[in-house]
Structure 1
Amino acid sequence: MASTPKPYKTKAKVSVVAEAALIAPYQSLYTNSISVLTSAKNGLSAKAALDFLSLSGFTREEFQDTFKTNVKTIENYVSNASKLDASLSEKLLKSFSLFEKGIEIFGTAKAFHLWLNTPSYGLGNQIPFELMDTITGISLIEEELIRIEYGDLA
């Protein structure tokens, strides 16, 4: 039974330029595994989670289910200038990297969001979004994006 893709939701339209601006501050933090490890252990600013929420088009509920944290808690962390723990920081960095690749392949975060909510043959007809709650799931989605990028859809 195929599920209906979830709509891309944001409070305001996010332009391609705005998408790039949301990703840019984090790009150097996920260029390689050592960067991810170091940045995650140091902890991202809580603002990174809100930036990802804006970029991704996830609803608050989708964000909370994926990242296992409450958006209200993140907003409190931002107001207190707190940092995120290593686990959440790592998942966010991997997710930013994933969205950068998805935008590169699909053209916009909106188009990538639509693909994330559509069953993928290369992932055993699973919905990619449902795999994003683990680092392994994010890696599997990234591998599928690379296959798509190179036209290897079999």
Structure 2
Amino acid sequence: MDQEKAKAAKKNTKSYKTADDKASFMAHDFLEHYETPTTMHRPMPYQALYANPIALLTSSKKGLDAKAALDFINISGFTHNEFQETFKTTVKTIHNHTNNHHKLDAALSEKILKSFALFEKGIAIFGSAHNFHTWLSVPAYGLGNQKPFDLMDTVTGITLIEEELIRLQYGDLA
């Protein structure tokens, strides 16, 4: 048992070259912990990059590693078509950027970080990424009976969805 604890401690103290590397590593481990109702919720990957408005602004302007977009697809359950509709870029382009170690531009980085934050809140309310993804496809009264998914293609739309989630969280359905 002590050997298992030592291995776990060693795994948790792994060093990362960048914050994006750490976030990417967390993304692979993420869904398992959120999808199982009996486990504790873990922090969303990339959380430090959007934890407050200044971190979000700084991270967006620096640009995310393109792999962040692929991590978002894995966590969110978005199909490639949904991703392409929402972020106005192709998955093939993201793969090319990843292979060439290119950063995403500021606007796309901001939308992806805000989408991570949105999914963090949605998972907390709905219990899983799958349940939240399903909710995104259903017209919401508080959003003028629009599907939340249809609003995710702009930062303003993501903000409106966040506000709707806060209303749902506090039981304000009108």
Q: Does 1:17 align with 2:33?
A: yes
TM norm structure 2:
0.77
Task: Provide the residue aligned with 2:4 in structure 1.
Answer: none
* Structure with a larger share of its residues in helix: 2
**How much identity, in percent, do the aligned residues show?**
66
Distance in 1 between residues matched to 2:90 and 2:145, nearest whole Å: 29
- Give the paired residue count: 140
Match of 1:121 among 133, 138, 141: 141
Query: Which of these two proteins has the greater Rg computed from alpha carbons?
Result: 2
Task: Provide the residue aligned with 2:173 in structure 1.
Answer: 153
Report if the CA contact (8 A) 2:34-2:127 is conserved: no
4+ long deviations beyond 6 Å: 18-22
1:82 to 1:95, Cα distance in 2 relative to 1, 3 A: same
1:18 to 1:74, Cα distance in 2 relative to 1, 3 A: farther
Distance in 1 between residues matched to 2:68 and 2:172, nearest whole Å: 33
Q: How does 1:3-152 map to 2 (within 5 A)?
A: 15-17=31-33, 23-24=44-45, 26-152=46-172
Say what the alpha-carbon RMSD is for the aligned residues.
1.7
What SS is found at the alignment partner of 2:49?
A: coil
- Structure 2 gap ranges (5+): 1-29, 36-40
Distance in 2 between residues matched to 1:22 and 1:118, nearest whole Å: 26
Relative contact order, CA 8 A, sep 6+: which one is greater? 1
Distance in 2 between residues matched to 1:111 and 1:18, nearest whole Å: 11
- Structure 1 gap ranges (5+): 1-13
Report if the CA contact (8 A) 1:45-1:78 is conserved: yes
1:114 to 1:27, Cα distance in 2 relative to 1, 3 A: same
